[in-house]
Amino acid sequence: MAASLQLLQFKPVKPSLSFSLRRLTPLSCSAAPPPSKSQRSYTITLLPGDGIGPEVISVAKDVLLLAGSLEGIKYEFRERLIGGAALDATGVPLPDETLSAAKQSDAVLLGAVGGYKWDNNDKHLKPETALLGLRKELQVFANLRPASVFPQLVDASTLKREIAEGVDLMVVRELTGGIYFGKPRGFDTNENGEEIGFNTEIYAAHEIDRIAHAAFKIARKRRGKLCSVDKANVLEASMLWRKRVLAIAQEYPDVELSHMYVDNASMQLIRNPKQFDTIVTNNIFGDILSDEASMITGSIGMLPSASLGASGPGLFEPIHGSAPDIAGQDKANPFATVLSAAMLLKYGLEEQKAAQRIENAVLDTLNRGFRTGDIYSTGTKLVGCKQLGEEIMKSVESNVPAGATV
């Protein structure tokens, strides 16, 4: 089953403030027709990774299994090593066995990679190298990162209620080009004998065109506004970025296009985040801005992501890191990984009912007041990762409709 951006031709649905992920409207990420009811069996590669990754993946796997069984779906899970865990076991951060399993699956669900233990490793032996390599090998070039403030968590935001309430934006980040992959890169010595490090921010026109098309199509199905973020007043790569986005815009006259320099965008995200609907930007700017946007929501532990390509399996992961400081202490927030599993079902497998069941369960669990420490507030129930997973499972089984209250 291929997670493809070819099928961004979906019908709009009415937005629901009770669960703003609905604004994403299914991307139908399969280039092939969905399997018949008698063939609804999928291979999922699970990559728990490091830190809190195994804890949150365990919860998401259980949720996937329950939602699947209730909706007539079967899975074959293949768990593989990645990141620091792979380094310790095999000596490399992305073993061939892991990459092969990922490529042969219908979708990939990742926990997190990295940790203090490997911080001083050479670059090619850092856990994060595995993530960059996996994205490149799967050829997933469009990273979708929703940042929506749940009504139940508006007071968890560090911003004033009147600023945070109602925020619902999408960052579409180019994922396989730019400074993270550009060459030349490395270390050298300058004419003064001083050590230098250098990287290259480079984009080809086709790389910009394909992410622009994806972003315009997403914006068209949301509120029809797209802001392209660059640094075209300084960087040649951004000048080409703006030139190509303007050219592609001619094909989408129904979408209102604006441009913003990245330094101003980072300020405006805090000053007035509701001005944004869909943001499209390059790899490094998207990396930074999406993390900034996530904190408007109250916790990075609430936000999922989907990485899609023209064909092949999609990569689904929470946007938080491995959080080694709380790993193994049952303090992790599994919501983002559970919602990533919902995105996997919705966009990777076209299993809308199962995805909706999980989304409803997250809302119901929040409505019932269960919180991990990162989103806890007075009057709610502080629980650990495992118990929160159990509560989500109860909600999956009861399938309380979105927007319902208890």
CB crowding 383-403: b at 16 or more within 10 Å, else e: bbbeebbbbbbebbeebbebe
Mapping DSSP to helix (H, G, I), strand (E, B) and coil, where does residue 344 land? helix
**The pairing of beta strand 256-261 with beta strand 225-230:** parallel
Q: Is there a catalytic annotation at residue 252?
A: no
Name the token pair of 195.
Answer: 């050590």
Q: Is there a catalytic annotation at residue 394?
A: no
List all residues 6 or more positions away from 33 whose beta carbon is below 8 Å from its beta carbon.
none
AA letter at 107: A
Q: Is there a catalytic annotation at residue 386?
A: no
Nearest to 201 by CA among 224, 182, 188, 222: 182
Q: Is there a catalytic annotation at residue 230?
A: no
Q: How many helices (H) and strands (E) would you count in the chain?
A: 12, 14
216 dihedral zone (left: phi>0; alpha: psi -120 to 50; beta): alpha
Catalytic residue (choose from 287, 346, 364, 374): 287
Catalytic residue (choose from 42, 106, 126, 180): 180
CB crowding 337-363: b at 16 or more within 10 Å, else e: bbbbbbbbbbbbbbbeebbbbbbbbbb
Do 337 and 303 touch, CB atoms closer than 8 A?
A: no
Catalytic residue (choose from 225, 261, 291, 386): 291
Nearest to 78 by CA among 37, 51, 42, 111: 42
Catalytic residue (choose from 231, 277, 346, 347): 231
Burial of residue 89, with CB atoms counted within 10 A of its CB: 0-12 exposed, 13-18 middle, 19 or more buried: exposed
Distance of CA 58 to the CA centre of its chain: 18
Catalytic residue (choose from 88, 119, 263, 325): 263
Place of tokens 């649905």: 13
Beta partners for 107? 44, 314
Name the token pair of 56.
Answer: 């949150």
Distance of CA 318 to the CA centre of its chain: 6
Cα 319 from Cα 336, distance rounded (Å): 8
Beta partners for 363? none
**CB-side exposure of 205: number of CA atoms within 13 Å?**
5
Q: Is there a catalytic annotation at residue 263?
A: yes
Phi, psi of 189 (to 5 degrees): -125, 135
Catalytic residues: 180, 231, 263, 287, 291
